[in-house]
């Protein structure tokens, strides 16, 4: 028991590593602030493009989404960070993370929005248009509010995934929270700093996970 | 060299493709093996936890909910590093692929439990009453009446979530598991050329694109049954 | 009679979905304040025809003039024209995320650009006409089916349309609830609204319709005053259909 505590919950080491980790937390939050809005916007754009009347546009969008969903985010990140320089495009770790995660999350948010649109019956659109509302007005006042409401648990759930995704940025040496914690681990040969980082993730995300569960149960599976 | 030739030379160099193809294929094998094991153990464990939870014993529910919440709130990479670096120092020595399998299974189990549980909850009470009123026991009603309906509801979200989690086998590269990404990045630094990276990306597409498309088909097929 | 006099003038309307032709050349004139009742077996194309009249379906051929405006002309502002054509759907299609009043005033605010207080006044008046002013702040899921359909009617009449289209307005309602909706429709007709109604409610047609049109397989088989269509002089297919649904 004692061994477990000194290995995983070594308070001494945790307190020494804390300042470093908190600085990493700042970077984690910064990445979230950049990627989540980008992904939400990108996803909406993808979903709207997917409703285009031109079949080839729809197919192109669907193919792009499937490719992005088939690619592990870490692979995409490494590709952007280590592969693009060969083509002459060298991005900073932060920029690489933003680009790779923007692509990945746009695909997932796009799928969620698509399900949302499909959940709003076509009759709603027709009713709105039949009173003379333009296509744009019908979308913004009638269809999109209902679509978002219907897929809210999935949107929140995916946002949780994005926050967790930021931990991958440690692989390209972006000094976010896990990178800082791992650095502390390698200096102390003790994983407690990573446990501390985990605890911080829990504090951030556990309440949101509970919230999503409750939303999901209320909508009845 | 013209720019098209330069592009091919940088990203699709033929002799590098030949040289590293065996390594990439080996990596694909490792990925498939680990992903397969994760899917089986993760879903089985998740289903088991959901069934336990449906017994309604408070003393069981609390630890299940705590475990599930934690596994859903923590980034898998954090868990992998904690287990990989911590266990050897308390005397448990697991090879890196076992660590990867263990962590991903637990994470998938947690998500699967939530999905099955939501499915069980959404089968209407009337179904339970119908079963019990014909004399079926709790267990029989659960197994023959409720679970089949819950399982049908669970398939679309479960497919989605399983794909997302098996893609995390790529995280194995951080702890040295010789899966695709590991092989690709090693080859890239040896050869100083981006071709192995492209090969790795293509390998992932070859593995997961069919799965994603099949998953889409499964979702639509089970969606209309849901009335 | 010049085309300008009729509220609705449809000539040679055809509609195909892919290879199958659903409307095979429909002609219809509707005079002001007329109530035209369209009936026929399912698959006869009557709903499709109605939905062409505000271009929810695009006709393949033919012409549609609403109060002199060419509906199918690309230069016509369809959104402005739709304001003059009220539509009531079988499934009500109320916006679930808005109150009854919200449903009625949305187009008033966005299409007619009324101020919120103006829109509210007009909206409440429309709800009053259908007898639901006291439920203005209720959400659709708090209303019965009949009430929802009446809100849907209020939503259409608030825009002061020149013609109202009803697509099987009571088919989704229990018989007890359809009475209130039919009463509102009779009220509208008494106030002089021009109406085209697709429905199975024969009694309503007998009491209120000026003209009954019988459609089958994409064509108008017979039309005339209710007394004739529901009497022994109607065409054989019309009589066969009526005896079917009378059962």
> Three-state SS for B167?
helix
Two structure tokens written together for B227: 């009335």
pTM reported for the whole predicted model: 0.76
Asked if B77 and A86 come within 8 Å (Cβ–Cβ), the reply is: no
User: What topology does CATH give the domain B3-221?
Assistant: MetI-like fold (1.10.3720)
- Are the C-beta atoms of A43 and A110 separated by less than 8 Å? yes
Cβ of A193: how many Cβ atoms within 10 Å? 30
What pLDDT digit, counting tens, does each position of A105-137 carry? 999 999 889 888 888 888 999 999 999 899 899
Asked if A130 and C87 come within 8 Å (Cβ–Cβ), the reply is: yes
Asked if A217 and B72 come within 8 Å (Cβ–Cβ), the reply is: no
Residues C192-216, mean pLDDT to the nearest whole number: 92
Residues C98-108, mean pLDDT to the nearest whole number: 89
| Confidence (pLDDT) at A51 | 83
**Which residues on neighbouring strands pair with residue C66, listed in sequence order?**
C8, C69
Contacts of B35 in chain A (CB under 8 A): none
Give dist(CA C99, CA C39) in Å, integer: 33
Cβ of C1: how many Cβ atoms within 10 Å? 8
- Are the C-beta atoms of A107 and A40 separated by less than 8 Å? no
| Confidence (pLDDT) at C138 | 94
| Confidence (pLDDT) at C1 | 47
Give the pLDDT band of residue B31 (cuts 50, 70, 90). very high
Closest CA–CA distance from residue C207 to any residue of chain A (Å): 28
CATH architecture of the domain with range A18-220:
Orthogonal Bundle (1.10)
Give the pLDDT band of residue A163 (cuts 50, 70, 90). very high
Interface of B with A in 64-93 (CB under 8 A): 69-70, 72-79, 81-82, 85-86, 89-91
Whether the predicted pLDDT of B10 surpasses 90: no
> Three-state SS for C163?
strand
% of chain A at pLDDT higher than 90:
58
Query: Which ipTM score applies to this complex?
Result: 0.87
| Confidence (pLDDT) at A73 | 95
Contacts of C152 in chain A (CB under 8 A): 127
Two structure tokens written together for B215: 């998953």
| Confidence (pLDDT) at B226 | 40
Give dist(CA B190, CA B53) in Å, integer: 51
| Confidence (pLDDT) at A72 | 95
| Confidence (pLDDT) at B1 | 54
Cβ of C66: how many Cβ atoms within 10 Å? 24
- Are the C-beta atoms of A78 and B217 separated by less than 8 Å? no
B34-43, B173-182, B210-219, C127-136: the lowest-pLDDT one: B210-219
Give the pLDDT band of residue A41 (cuts 50, 70, 90). very high
């Amino acid at each position: 028991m004692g061994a477990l505590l000194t290995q995983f919950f070594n308070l001494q080491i945790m307190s020494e590593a804390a300042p470093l980790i908190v600085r990493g937390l700042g970077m984690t939050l910064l990445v979230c602030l950049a990627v989540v809005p980008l992904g939400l916007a990108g996803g909406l754009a993808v979903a709207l493009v997917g409703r285009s009347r031109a079949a080839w546009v729809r197919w192109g969008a669907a193919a792009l989404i499937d490719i992005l969903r088939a690619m592990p985010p870490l692979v995409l990140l490494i590709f952007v960070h280590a592969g693009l320089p060969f083509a002459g495009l060298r991005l900073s770790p932060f920029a690489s993370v933003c680009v790779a995660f923007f692509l990945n999350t746009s695909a997932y948010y796009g799928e969620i929005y698509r399900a949302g649109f499909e959940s709003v019956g076509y009759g709603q659109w027709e009713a709105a248009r039949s009173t003379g509302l333009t296509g744009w007005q019908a979308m913004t006042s009638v269809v999109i509010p209902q679509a978002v409401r219907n897929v809210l648990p999935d949107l929140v759930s995916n946002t949780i995934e994005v926050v967790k995704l930021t931990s991958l940025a440690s692989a390209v040496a972006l000094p976010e929270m896990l990178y800082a914690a791992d650095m502390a681990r390698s200096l102390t040969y003790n994983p407690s700093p990573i446990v501390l980082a985990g605890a911080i993730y829990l504090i951030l995300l556990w309440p949101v996970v509970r919230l999503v569960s409750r939303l999901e149960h209320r909508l009845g599976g | 060299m013209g720019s098209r030739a330069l592009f091919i030379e940088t990203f699709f160099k033929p002799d590098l493709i030949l040289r590293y193809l065996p390594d990439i294929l080996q990596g694909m094998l490792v990925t498939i093996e680990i992903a397969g094991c994760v899917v089986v153990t993760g879903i089985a464990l998740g289903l088991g936890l959901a069934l336990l939870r449906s017994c309604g014993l408070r003393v069981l529910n609390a630890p299940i909910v705590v475990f599930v919440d934690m596994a859903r709130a923590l980034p898998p990479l954090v868990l992998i590093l904690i287990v990989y670096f911590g266990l050897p120092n308390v005397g448990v020595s697991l090879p890196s692929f076992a660590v990867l399998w263990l962590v991903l299974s637990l994470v998938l189990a947690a998500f699967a439990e939530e999905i099955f549980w939501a499915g069980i909850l959404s089968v209407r009470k009337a179904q339970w009453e119908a079963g019990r009123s014909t004399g079926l026991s709790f267990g029989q009603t659960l197994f023959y009446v409720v679970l089949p309906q819950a399982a049908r509801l669970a398939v679309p979200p479960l497919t989605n979530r399983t794909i997302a989690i098996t893609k995390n086998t790529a995280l194995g590269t951080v702890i040295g598991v010789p899966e695709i990404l590991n092989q690709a990045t090693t080859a890239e630094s040896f050869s100083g050329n981006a071709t192995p990276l492209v090969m790795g990306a293509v390998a992932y597409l070859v593995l997961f694109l069919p799965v994603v498309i099949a998953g889409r088909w499964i979702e639509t097929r089970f969606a209309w049954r849901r009335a | 009679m010049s085309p300008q006099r009729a509220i609705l003038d449809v000539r040679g309307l055809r509609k195909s979905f892919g290879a199958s032709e659903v409307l095979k050349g429909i002609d219809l004139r509707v005079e002001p304040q007329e109530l035209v009742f369209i009936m026929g077996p399912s698959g006869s194309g009557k709903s499709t025809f109605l939905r062409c009249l505000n271009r929810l379906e695009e006709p393949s051929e033919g012409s549609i003039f609403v109060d002199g405006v060419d509906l199918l002309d690309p230069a016509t502002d369809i959104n402005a024209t739709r304001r003059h054509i009220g539509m009531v759907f079988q499934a009500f299609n109320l916006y679930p995320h808005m109150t009854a009043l919200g449903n009625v005033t949305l187009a008033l605010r966005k299409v007619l650009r009324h101020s919120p207080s103006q829109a509210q006044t007009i909206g409440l008046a429309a709800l009053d006409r259908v007898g639901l002013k006291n439920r203005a702040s209720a959400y659709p899921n708090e209303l019965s089916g009949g009430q929802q359909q009446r809100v849907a009617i209020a939503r259409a009449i608030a825009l002061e349309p020149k013609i109202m289209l009803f697509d099987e307005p009571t088919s989704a309602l229990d018989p007890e609830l359809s009475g209130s909706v039919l009463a509102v429709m009779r009220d509208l007709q008494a106030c002089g609204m021009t109406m085209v109604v697709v429905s199975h409610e024969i009694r309503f047609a007998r009491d209120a319709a000026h003209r009954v049109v019988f459609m089958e397989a994409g064509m108008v088989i017979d039309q005339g005053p209710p007394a004739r269509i529901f009497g022994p002089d109607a065409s054989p297919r019309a009589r066969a259909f009526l005896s079917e649904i009378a059962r």
